[in-house]
Structure 1
Amino acid sequence: MRAFRGSILHYLEDPHSHPDQAREYIEDGLLLVESGRIRAVGPYASMMPSLPTGTPLEDYSGKLLMPGMIDLHTHYPQTEVIASYGRQLLDWLNNYTFPTEMKFSDKAYASAIAERFVQELLRNGTTTAMVFTTVHPQSTEAFFEVAEQHQLRMIAGKVMMDRHAPAGLCDTAESSYTDSKALIERWHGKARLSYAVTPRFAPTSTPEQLQAAGRLMQEYPGLYLQSHLAENRDELAWVAELFPQARDYLDAYEQAGLLGPHCVYAHGIHLSDSACQRLADSGTVLAHCPTSNLFLGSGLFDMSRLTDQGVRFALGTDVGGGTSFSLFRTLGEAYKVQQLLQHSLHPDRAFYLATLGGARALSLDQHIGNFLPGKEADFIVIDPESTPLLSFRIQHCKTLSEKLFVLATLGDDRLIAATYILGQLAYSQEA
C-alpha cells in the first residue's frame, strides 16, 4: 500500500446533467493505492491515523491529484509532422501524413517513434488514448509492445486503406481483414490493451473493405472501431461521389454495420440532424479535436447542439493535425470553439470530458476515470504554480471553478509534476 497527500479532484457524474453531484474535491486529501488500484480516498486528517504503520507517503501538498487524462483520438505515426505548415485536410494528408507513414514499414523505426509518443503522453498527463497506427502490421505490433512495456491502458489498431493512397500504404479488403484478425488474436485483451478496427476514413476504403471491418466487429465482441467522420466540406463532397448509394457520409459506415457504443469517429463537425439522431440512437461516439479543427480550418464542433440531440462525445488531440499532446491545451481551444458558437464550456464539464467523460465514451469507466475504490490507479499530479504567470493568476482565484478555468486556459505540459501508472511513478518533471 502507498499513500499520496494533496488536494484531490475527481468527477462522479456529468456536470451538465448532475451539476450538484458531479465532482468531489478534498482540499487536503489522501489517496490510498494498493496493488495498482485505488483503495480509498478521503480527508488526510481522518484517514492518516488509521494507516498501517510504515505505509509510504508521497506528500504533494499544494498540488492537485486528478485521474489521468484520456485522449479519444490521436495518430502516433504523425508525431514528426505535428505543426506542418499551410494545408487543409486532404492536401495535408497527401503532402505530410502519407510520406511520413511510409517509414513505418520499418519496425525498428516504428518502435522508436512509439516510445517517443508514449513519453509525450506521460509528460502531458495522458494515461489512456485511442491510437491510429499505419497500414503496416508491424507498426501496430511496435505500438502495442511499447504500451505493454509501460503497463498502459491503450486502444489501437492497424489502418485499413485500399484506395486513394500511395501504393506503399495500400492494403486490400482481404489482406486488411487477415492482418487485423491476426493482430486482434495477439493483442486484444492482453494486459491492459484493446484493439480498434481502423478504416482510415471512407474515401480510402472501398465498400468491400468497410464490409470486412464490419465482419471483424461481428466476429469479436468487445472490439472497438475508430475512423473519421464529416471533418471537412471537401471531404463530404468526395464521399458523396464515392458512395452514391449512401444517404450521407455516416451512412457509408452505417451500411457496413460500423455504428455502436464501441465505435469512435473523430470530428463530426458537418452533420445533418438525421445523422446526429442516428449517432445518438446507436450510442456511437464522436471525438472532438479542437486544436486540429482550428489548425486545418475544418470547422467548429457544436457541443451544445450535440448534447441536446443526445450524441455521446469526449475529447481528442488528433496529433499531428492537432497541435499539442496536452489535453489542457485541448480544453483551452475547446472553450474558444464553443465561444464562437455562442456557448460557454464550463470548466467542470471540460475536466469531466477529459477524465470520467472520456472513460465513459470508451466504455472503460469500470476501470478508469475517477478515484472510486477498485479502479486502476492511473493519476496525475498537477502543479498550479508551474509557471510564474500561473502562480500569480491562481493567487487571485476565489473559487475552485475559477482555478480550473485558469488551468485549462493557461496550462500545458508544464502543469504535470508527475504521472502515475497503476500507482507507480511513470513520469516526473524533476527526473
Structure 2
Amino acid sequence: MSQRKAYRSAILHSIADPRDVGIEASYAYFEDGLLVVEDGKVLDVGHADTLLGKFSDADLTTYSDTLITAGFIDTHIHYPQLDIIGAYGEQLLEWLETYTFPAERKFEDPEHATRLAQVFLEELLRNGTTTALVFGTVHKQSIDAFFSEAQKLDLRMIAGKVMMDRNAPEYLRDTPESAYADSKELIERWHGKGRLHYAVTPRFAPTSTPEQLALAGQLFQEYPGLYMHTHISENKQEIEWVRGLFPERSGYLDVYDHHGLIGERAVFAHGVHLCDDECQRLGETGSAVAFCPTSNLFLGSGLLNLDKLEECGVRVGLGTDVGAGTSFSQLQSLNEAYKVMQLQGKKLDPFRALYLATLGGARSLYLDDRIGNLQPGKDADFVVLDYNATPLISRRMAQATTLAERLFALMILGDDRAVKETYAAGVCRHRK
C-alpha cells in the first residue's frame, strides 16, 4: 500500500521562464507551504492551511527555518574527474593532457568505476542535485557502473560512453566502428530503464574523426529520446584547433551540424565564444547550452554571454563541469554565474538563477514534463535548504526582509552545508 507523505516548510519553485513572463510571474511561493507526495510523484503543493485538512491522512514532516525547492539539475559534469577536482594551474588543452586522460585510464577497471560512481552520486545528492547529464570515459564499463549505481537510488540520470578516436592517448582511443557498437549495446541495455537515459557522447570535435562524428550522428537519430552531449567553444585555442582540423566547415558548430549532432536533446557544454550565427542556429534547432561558470573561471576560458544566448532562444541549463568545475554545489555555480554577469555589466536576478538551476535545466533536457519544479504529477525530486546552515548564513537571514534577499543569500553564501535533505522520487537519499 502506498504511503502518502507531506512536508511542511516554506516552499518556492519556478513555474515559467522569467524572460517570458517577468520575474514575479516566474515562481510560486508559499511561506507556510505543504508538499504532498505519493508513489514517487508530487500529488499537490500549496498553502498549508488549505491542504492540511484535505491530506490529514498523510505522514507529516514539519521543518522550521527551511526552504523546499525542486532538486537541482546539472546539465554538464564528468564523473571520472572526481579525483582531479581542484588540480592546479592549466587551461583546457593542457588540463586534458596533464590530469584528465591519466585519471580516465583508471576506468579500465570496473571496480574502480563502481567505487567512483558511488562517491560521485553521494556527492551530487549531498549538494541537492537530483538529475545530471554525465560524461563517462571511453570504456563501456564506466557507463555500466554509473547506471547500475544510479538505478539502485532510482535517480533520473543521463550518461554516455565517450567516443574518441584521435588526438588522445592510445590507451583512451576507440574506433568509429567500436564506438558505435559499444554505444548501441549500452543504449539497448540502459536507455529508458527506470529513470535512466542515454547520451551519445563524442568528447569534442578535435578528438573524433569525421567518420566517427558521422556514426555518432547516425546513432543519435536511430533511437527515440536519445541525448547528444559534447563540448563547444570553451577556449580560443581549442576553436583554432577545430578550424585547422575541419577547414571545410564554416565554424565549430557547423562541424556538429554537418554530422547530424544538433537539435532537440543536444546539449553543448560551455559555448563561451559562440558567434551570433551559431547562437541563432542553436536556438532555431532547439539545442541547449550548459553554462559552467566555476569551470570557465577556473580554466580561464572566458565569460559566457547568457543574455545573447537567451535572446536567440537557446535553452540554457547550469553545469558544474566537475572536475574542471570547482564545486558540486549548484548554489556555488550560481554564486560564480552572478560574478560572470557582473563582469559584463549585467545582473543575475535570484529568481532567474533559481530557474537556471531547476526548470531551465529541465527544459534544456526536454524533461520539464517530469522534473524541474513541484507541480502535481512531476517526479518528487526536491531539496530542503537550511536557513541556519552556517552561522554566517543564519546571521544574514536575520537581516533579510524579502524572499529575494533570502534566496540571494543562499545563492552567494550557500554550498553543500545548506542542503538539509535531498529527495529523489519521494525517497530521502541524503540527510545532513
* Fold match (TM-score > 0.5): yes
2:26 to 22, 27, 32: 22
The equivalent residue for 1:290 is: 293
> Is the partner of 2:46 in helix, strand or coil?
strand
3-state SS in 2 of match to 1:50: coil
Structure 1 residue 331 corresponds to structure 2 residue 334: yes
Partner residue of 1:68? 71
Per-residue deviation at 1:50?
Answer: 2.5
Q: Give me the identity figure in percent.
A: 56
Tell me the equivalent position of 2:46: 42
CA deviations 1:200-255 (Å, max 9, x no partner) are 00000000000010110111121000000000000001001100111001111111
- State the Cα distance separating 1:306 from its structure 2 match: 1.5
Measure how far apart 1:30 and its partner are: 0.7
**Do the aligned partners of 2:422 and 2:428 also contact (CA within 8 Å) in 1?**
yes
Matches within 5 A, 1:16-415: 16-19=19-22, 20-53=24-57, 55-415=58-418
Quick check: 2:315–2:363 contact (8 Å CA) kept in 1?
Answer: no
In 2, Cα distance between equivalents of 1:50 and 1:348: 30
Is residue 418 of structure 1 aligned with residue 408 of structure 2?
A: no
Q: Conserved in 2, the CA contact under 8 Å of 1:28 and 1:61? A: no
TM-score normalized by structure 2?
Answer: 0.98
Task: Kindly state the Cα deviation for residue 309 of structure 1 after the two structures are TM-superposed.
Answer: 2.0
8 A Cα contact 1:144 1:187, kept in partner: yes
User: Which sections of structure 1, spanning at least 5 residues, go unmatched?
Assistant: none
Is the deviation greater in 402-411 or in 125-134?
402-411
How many correspondences in the alignment?
428
Take 2:19 and 2:335, find their aligned partners in 1: how far apart are those partners?
A: 18
Amino acid at match of 1:102: R
Q: The residue matched to 2:174 in structure 1 has which SS?
A: coil
Take 1:82 and 1:348, find their aligned partners in 2: how far apart are those partners?
Answer: 29
Pairwise CA distance, 1:11: 1.0
Could you tell me which amino acid in structure 2 is paired with residue 50 of structure 1? K
Q: Distance in 2 between matches of 1:51 and 1:247?
A: 59
> Any conservation in 2 of the 1:129–1:154 contact (CA below 8 Å)?
yes
SS in 1 for 2:423: strand
Q: CA deviation at 1:421?
A: 1.1
Aligned 8 A contact 1:68 1:355 in 2: yes
- The whole-number CA distance in structure 1 between the counterparts of 2:177 and 2:98 is 28
Aligned residue type for 2:346? H
Distance 1:235 1:105 in 2: 27
- Give, in whole Å, the separation in 2 of the partners of 1:46 and 1:240: 60
Distance 2:283 2:229 in 1: 17
Q: 1:52 offset after TM fit, Å? A: 3.8
Unmatched runs of 5 consecutive residues or more in structure 2:
none
- Give the deviation of 1:292 after TM superposition: 0.2
1:291 is matched by which residue type in structure 2? Answer: T
